[in-house]
Amino acid sequence: MAQNVKPRDAAEVEQAINEAIAGGKTLEIVGHGSKRVIGRAAQWDMTLDLSGLSGVTLYEPAELVLSAKVGTPLSEIETLLAGSGQRLAFEPMDYGPLLGRADGGATIGGVLSSNLSGPRRIKAGAARDHFLGVTAVSGRGETFKSGGRVVKNVTGYDLCKLLAGSWGTLAAMTDVTVKTLPRAETERTMLVLGLDEAPAGKLMTAVMGSFADASAAAHMPPTLVKRIAAIAAADGSVTAFRIEGVPPSVAHRAALLEDLARSYGRLGTLDEPSSRELWRGVRDATPFAAGGPSGGRDVWRISTAPASGAELGRALTERVRAEVLYDWAGGLIWAALPPSDDAAAGLVRALVAERGGNAKLIRAPASVRAVVDVFQPQAPALAALTKRVRESFDPRGVLNPGRMWAGV
């Protein structure tokens, strides 16, 4: 039975890690555990529960900055920001639906550790682009800081970038500072109905190269359309574009987008509440929700060159019978595959490699995650560098060993 350690403050985090080092134990780092089942199925001696480090410590809307303890619930931060007309522009997704966990379970630390983002990634960047400062305890048991609380800073190496997306394998963060941005005054979503993947891909490329300045672009094949309430009434596929901003700007750009899209197919529009609902669904990949019709499928998250997305999606559909959701104008593919012993990892990665990109196995039974690479395998020189980077923070492999790659 794994022991659970729940520090009350940063000093106790340092203490816990030092004890683990001294005792030769490995630690699993968790916040609220909402993404606990992502990663290789590995075993750890103890759990380091950071949910006790909670609370916003600084929020200055005019400076566009917020600091919080690492276990602060994301929902608490989002509510606070909304009160000042702001948000986290990178639109962090909620893995709750996909992984069959309660909605809203994320902490700010988990969001940053997994470098989450959502549909607005194409315009606003990912968590890493908004991560300004950090205090963390390395796997050496030492507390260090990097970055600061200002939005422009090049003093020393940008360790925030490195910690973002490191899944707790380098350090246990205790305090973080992120950039906040104003919410858009209004939003509207334009729909283009009935397109196959290829023309949808072409249209998304055209829109992203236009003055429409879409803050999200996604394509949903007919099967998936039925699973998102905001668009379920549509007949056939839906290609959707979100336009955000001040009212005159939104009206102008929506008209521009209509002109651009008219020759592709029938047009539709979603008002603000429906628009929000749609993009929450796309953000959280709800068509593949654990409790839904595809809940038993294995789910891959694939990052590729946007203009290759449609073709890659087509290949995944034909070769591995995937259901495919396209976000980021084609640059992000969610692929849900019928259950198998290896989630078709070899074929999926070969198809991705032909077009450039990487694939992460987000959802699969532990037995599958124990035998396939969950994270993209790396070329030898890069793998060796990754290992050295890991060891520079955590030479004994105390923090989340094996979560990203075996032996790292």
Site for another protein in 107-136 (CB under 8 A): 115, 117, 121-122, 125-126, 128-129
* Residue 311 lies near another protein (rule: CB under 8 A): no
Residues 270-299 that bind another protein (CB under 8 A): none
x-marked contacts with another protein along 209-228 as a string, rule CB under 8 A: xxx-x---------------
x-marked contacts with another protein along 316-355 as a string, rule CB under 8 A: ------------x--xx-----------------------
Distances (CA, A) of 400 to 15, 138, 155, 255, 296: 17, 12, 29, 50, 27
* Residue 57 lies near another protein (rule: CB under 8 A): no
Give the relative orientation of helices 247-261 and 197-208 as an angle to the nearest 10 degrees: 140
Interface stretch with another protein, choices 73-81, 97-105, 247-255, 314-322 (CB under 8 A): 247-255
Q: In the set 47, 274, 317, 378, which binds another protein (CB under 8 A)?
A: 378
Q: In the set 83, 85, 296, 346, which binds another protein (CB under 8 A)?
A: 85
Nearer to another protein, 174 or 303 (CB): 303
- Strand, coil or helix: what is 402? coil
Q: What is the DSSP string of 288-351?
A: G-TTSTTTTSEEEEEEE-GGGHHHHHHHHHHHH--EEEEEGGGTEEEEEE---SSTTHHHHHHH
Q: CA 307, 194, 330: angle at the middle one, nearest 5? A: 20
Residues 131-190 that bind another protein (CB under 8 A): 138, 140-146, 148-159, 161-162, 164-166, 170, 181-183, 185
Interface stretch with another protein, choices 40-48, 226-234, 305-313, 337-345 (CB under 8 A): 305-313
Residues 91-110 that bind another protein (CB under 8 A): none
Residues 11-40 that bind another protein (CB under 8 A): 14-15, 18-19, 21-23
Nearer to another protein, 370 or 382 (CB): 382
Please check whether residue 66 is in contact with residue 177, taking contact to mean a CB–CB distance below 8 angstroms.
Answer: yes
The DSSP element (H or E) to which 79 belongs, if any, is helix 74-83
64 CB-near residues (< 8 Å, 6+ apart): 86, 151, 179, 180, 181
Nearer to another protein, 83 or 339 (CB): 83
Q: Look up tokens 């035998």; give the residue.
A: 371
Interface stretch with another protein, choices 36-44, 227-235, 362-370, 381-389 (CB under 8 A): 381-389
Q: In the set 118, 306, 313, 401, which binds another protein (CB under 8 A)?
A: 306
* Residue 401 lies near another protein (rule: CB under 8 A): no
Count of chain residues binding another protein (CB under 8 A)? 94
Q: Of all residues in the chain, what percent are helix, strand and coil, respectively (each to 5)?
A: 35, 25, 40
67 CB-near residues (< 8 Å, 6+ apart): 56, 57, 58, 59, 133, 149, 175, 176, 177, 178
Residues in the chain: 408
